[in-house]
Structure 1
């Protein structure tokens, strides 16, 4: 007699996924509120409503939880980049749209906020370095493509410009007085940077575009996207 096709295994896998997501979301929210050092394992378990056994089934330590959060963020970045690449935009417009997507998640995605707050802890210095290196590389790749397409001003070094973009975004996040201020600061920063970085033809098209009046992100959409 043939066995039933893996129904129990499928149920276990789904339950395991839900438990893992609950742990990650609880850790992210507490890291976002209290920082990596300030959030204890006991606090995370209480927030998730789970036991130590559930935690150690998935993660061997609080550090491993933080590592998993950073990996989740990096995977979400890659997913965003793939979706935007399929829209047929030129490299500069891709950079603008990708940055908006990153900023929106930095503002309202609990996992991104928790991971970025955790990376401020000295214990996670190596992870922080990889995070920013990956961001700078992705930004530089787009600006190199923009330069090759003649979209940048002749004197602009795309790799130096990429470092400036990442530094400005990080500074805006640090200085912003809440999510709405972060969005406004990034808009103002682009309005200051792009006239210097870009060629006249691209700049004219951007100046006449509806980008300047684009709507701010919807917080509820990002909250619901992370519900376990």
Structure 2
């Protein structure tokens, strides 16, 4: 049992070091030597867990699924979508795993990225918007699947622009501005006040504004 725990800890340290190196240098410039050195591990320890740099990059990207499970999706579905994008924005700033994943998937240099991460994110948003449509929050003409892909695409463009112009220091503000633009075309007018474009305050507890009020 102790040996299994040590193996898990070794893998965790290697993946963290890999995420740091990939986030800083991208896939092409990263070396396995730098990764195992930064992790404080031997080359043999690295190759025990990962056969190649490509396999290690795929494992780093695969950790994004763990992040989604950590996101609190309580409350109305539309607010959950808003909070998901704000949570991802914060993770890009504070979580090296997510920064590495973003760089690896956007650069498409390690050969294993087929857009699965973006499709999964769009599908999650589409499911939430489908729930919101059934509950009457989302406009009847909105296609949840198309809107899910649109939200992902809009967020990606927003975060890339933020990275280029400010090193992502203004990303959360840009995501808020994105939702200020999107919500009026997404949500039925008399329910707009329920949702916070700046992310999670418990605004869904506020009274719903009656139609025509």
TM-score by length of 1: 0.80
Determine which of 92, 98, 112 is the counterpart of 2:84. 98
- Aligned equivalent of 2:209: none
- Aligned equivalent of 1:196: 185
- Aligned equivalent of 2:10: 19
In the alignment, the residues of structure 1 paired with residue 116 and residue 199 of structure 2 have an alpha-carbon distance, to the nearest angstrom, of 34
Aligned CA-pair RMSD: 2.0
Structure with the higher fraction of residues in helix conformation = 1
- Aligned equivalent of 2:134: 148
- Aligned equivalent of 1:166: 152
Q: Which moved more, 1:130-139 or 1:144-153?
A: 144-153
Q: Secondary structure at the match of 2:115?
A: helix
**5+ unaligned residues in a row in structure 2: which ranges?**
202-213
In the alignment, the residues of structure 1 paired with residue 200 and residue 66 of structure 2 have an alpha-carbon distance, to the nearest angstrom, of 26
- For residues 90-115 of structure 1, the C-alpha deviation after alignment (integer angstroms, 9 at most, x for no partner) is 11111122222222112210111112
- Aligned equivalent of 1:41: 32
Q: Which moved more, 1:123-132 or 1:188-197?
A: 123-132
Determine which of 118, 127, 138 is the counterpart of 2:113. 127
State the number of aligned residues. 198
- Aligned equivalent of 1:223: none
In the alignment, the residues of structure 1 paired with residue 185 and residue 110 of structure 2 have an alpha-carbon distance, to the nearest angstrom, of 35
In the alignment, the residues of structure 1 paired with residue 200 and residue 69 of structure 2 have an alpha-carbon distance, to the nearest angstrom, of 23
- For residues 117-144 of structure 1, the C-alpha deviation after alignment (integer angstroms, 9 at most, x for no partner) is 1223334454241111111111111111
Question: Is the Cα contact below 8 Å between 2:58 and 2:112 reproduced in 1?
Answer: no
**5+ unaligned residues in a row in structure 1: which ranges?**
1-8, 216-228
Determine which of 158, 164, 171 is the counterpart of 1:182. 171
- Aligned equivalent of 1:226: none
